[in-house]
Amino acid sequence: MERLAGRLTSGWRGDPRIWRRGLVLAGIALLLSLVMLLHSRIPNRFGNLGSLIETFLPWIGVFIPLLFLLALVRKSATALIAVVLPAVVWTNLFGGLIGDKTGSGGDLTVATHNVNADNPDPTDTAEDVAESGADMVALEELTTSAVPVYEKVLKTTYKYHSVQGTVGLWSKYPLSGVKPVDIKLGWTRAMRATAATPEGDVAVYVAHLPSVRVKLQAGFTARQRDKSADALGEAIADEKLTRVILLGDLNGTMNDRSLNAVTSQMRSTQGAAGNGFGFSWPASFPMARIDQIMVKGVDPVTSWTLPRTGSDHLPVAARVKLTDS
């Protein structure tokens, strides 16, 4: 490694062009820094460009070591210095996600999984979910034909459950106040229930927001998702219980401004108590955390992703603390 570094930096001393070379690389480094710093100001008027960038914002970090190597190859001191800026910005934004923030203890383990309507083996998926150790499990993208399969496999572990439309909640604790939540779709993809845990009542929301698409002409099409996110945020804001847990596939990351109606009033368990980015989609090569466990009036203790099932999403789980002591 030292020999390679020596080769790359050989001939730098006394070469005045090291400051004039690599201006394009320096410009790219500056642009990346501005995108990360000002991502919230990138307009959504043109194909929801701002939301698209925010969805994959952490991946900008991939370009930083590449720029560093190109600066070395180009023998450009200017580019090398410029690369420091995006490295600092990225570390400030996402460095906290790299470290292990998991804790111990907690009162309640919850999990959520988009099981995929085209799942070829719902029985195995249900068994994997049952083995997760969660006290409550939310499932999204349930089909009419698959619901009996999940009910049959999960009934041994979870005494209580409710399915509303294409989402469902399975619980070891009694559920009451179960009702669909209108997220402006015309059919049910969200629900609310009160779980009577040993530490008291907790409002549990399960939601599957509409999918987004990236199209060449239309860009990042997410208008229906954004409308549903606003409706979900209103429902949570009107919740009477002080302790609230949201489980589901939000089809968006915590960086996406279009989910502000939800994210502004709740905490992400992954951001507060996770280990790494916790990407959940696609399961074959996870690139984004769109499956979320969020809380209000509840303290996250630890958060993690579960092993892959027959779905195109990874299940995610979290342990939370409901009591004050």
Q: Do 49 and 162 sit in the same domain of this protein?
A: no
- The predicted model gives 69-95 an average pLDDT of 94
Select from 46, 76, 98 the last residue of a domain: 98
Q: Do 36 and 128 sit in the same domain of this protein?
A: no
Q: What angle do CA 195, 306, 141 make, to 5 degrees?
A: 65
Asked if the structure places residue 263 within a domain, the reply is yes
Q: Do 246 and 113 sit in the same domain of this protein?
A: yes
Q: Do 83 and 126 sit in the same domain of this protein?
A: no
Is a pLDDT exceeding 50 seen at residue 208?
Answer: yes
Is a pLDDT exceeding 70 seen at residue 7?
Answer: no
Distance of CA 72 to the CA centre of its chain: 35
Q: Do 237 and 136 sit in the same domain of this protein?
A: yes
Is a pLDDT exceeding 80 seen at residue 61?
Answer: yes
Q: Which tokens hold the place of 15? A: 């070469």
Q: Do 82 and 186 sit in the same domain of this protein?
A: no
Q: Which carries the bigger pLDDT value, residue 200 or residue 214?
A: 200
- Contact of 235 with 180, CB cutoff 8 Å: no
Percentage of residues in the chain having pLDDT higher than 90 = 75
The C-alpha atoms of residue 164 and residue 82 are separated, in whole angstroms, by 53
Q: Do 157 and 290 sit in the same domain of this protein?
A: yes
Domain count, the chain: 2
pLDDT at 222: 72
Is a pLDDT exceeding 80 seen at residue 188?
Answer: yes
Is a pLDDT exceeding 50 seen at residue 217?
Answer: no
Asked if the structure places residue 280 within a domain, the reply is yes
- The predicted model gives 130-154 an average pLDDT of 97
Q: What angle do CA 50, 52, 56 make, to 5 degrees?
A: 115
pLDDT tens-digit map of 220-229 = 557 888 999 9
Q: Which tokens hold the place of 16? A: 């005045």
Select from 98, 120, 153 the last residue of a domain: 98
- Contact of 60 with 36, CB cutoff 8 Å: yes
pLDDT at 43: 86
Q: Do 134 and 246 sit in the same domain of this protein?
A: yes
Q: Do 71 and 151 sit in the same domain of this protein?
A: no
pLDDT at 269: 95
Phi, psi (rounded to 5 degrees) for 176: -140, 170
- The predicted model gives 136-161 an average pLDDT of 97
Nearest to residue 139, comparing CAs of 292, 248, 225? 248
- The predicted model gives 13-20 an average pLDDT of 79
Q: How confident is the model at residue 11 (pLDDT cuts 50, 70, 90)?
A: low
Asked if the structure places residue 282 within a domain, the reply is yes
- The predicted model gives 21-25 an average pLDDT of 93
Is a pLDDT exceeding 60 seen at residue 60?
Answer: yes
Question: Over the chain, what is the mean pLDDT?
Answer: 91
Asked if the structure places residue 33 within a domain, the reply is yes
Asked if the structure places residue 103 within a domain, the reply is no
Is a pLDDT exceeding 50 seen at residue 291?
Answer: yes
pLDDT tens-digit map of 311-325 = 999 999 999 999 775
Is a pLDDT exceeding 70 seen at residue 3?
Answer: no
Asked if the structure places residue 195 within a domain, the reply is yes
pLDDT at 10: 61
Is a pLDDT exceeding 50 seen at residue 219?
Answer: no
Q: Which domain holds residue 264?
A: 108-321
pLDDT at 14: 67
Q: How confident is the model at residue 98 (pLDDT cuts 50, 70, 90)?
A: confident
pLDDT at 6: 56
The C-alpha atoms of residue 151 and residue 132 are separated, in whole angstroms, by 16
pLDDT at 213: 67
Q: Tell me, what CATH number does 141's domain have?
A: 3.60.10.10
The C-alpha atoms of residue 25 and residue 22 are separated, in whole angstroms, by 5
pLDDT tens-digit map of 31-54 = 999 999 999 998 877 777 888 899
Q: Do 66 and 148 sit in the same domain of this protein?
A: no
Select from 46, 65, 98 the last residue of a domain: 98
Percentage of residues in the chain having pLDDT higher than 70 = 92
**How many residues make up the chain in this entry?**
325
- Contact of 152 with 246, CB cutoff 8 Å: no
- Contact of 315 with 271, CB cutoff 8 Å: no
Q: Do 66 and 210 sit in the same domain of this protein?
A: no
pTM given for the model: 0.89
Residue 143 burial (CB count, 10 A): 15
pLDDT at 50: 84
- Contact of 16 with 184, CB cutoff 8 Å: no
Q: Do 28 and 93 sit in the same domain of this protein?
A: yes
